[in-house]
């Protein structure tokens, strides 16, 4: 069901309750606005980044960070 919202002079908009419920939005959540080639806008909730996981992953990938690895994987 379409929902209406009004843009404020500061560029702010209140997201209708039905949309917040559908996206499971809470205060402080981050939204991604994706402009499609056809002019439509897709809005979705962005899950928080797990910095600890990414740091651990980055540490495990360093073993493949050598000139020999670059040469071996260059043609892929």
- pTM, two decimals, is 0.56
Confidence of residue 49 (pLDDT cuts 50, 70, 90): confident
Domain of residue 54 covers 17-73
Number of domains the chain contains: 1
The verdict on residue 5 lying in a domain is no
Beta-carbon contacts of 25 under 8 Å, excluding residues fewer than 6 positions away, are: 15, 19, 31, 45
Residue 20 is predicted with a pLDDT of: 94
CA–CA dist 66, 70 (Å, integer): 6
Residue 76 is predicted with a pLDDT of: 77
pLDDT in tens, 29-42: 999 999 999 999 99
The verdict on residue 12 lying in a domain is no
pLDDT in tens, 56-74: 777 677 676 778 878 888 8
């Amino acid at each position: 069901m379409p929902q209406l919202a009004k843009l404020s002079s500061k560029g702010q908009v209140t997201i209708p309750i039905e949309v917040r419920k559908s996206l499971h939005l809470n205060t402080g959540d981050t939204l991604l606005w994706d402009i499609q080639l056809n002019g439509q806008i897709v809005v979705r909730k962005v899950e928080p980044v797990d910095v600890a996981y990414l740091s651990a992953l980055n540490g495990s990938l360093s073993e493949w960070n050598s000139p020999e690895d670059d040469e071996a994987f260059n043609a892929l």
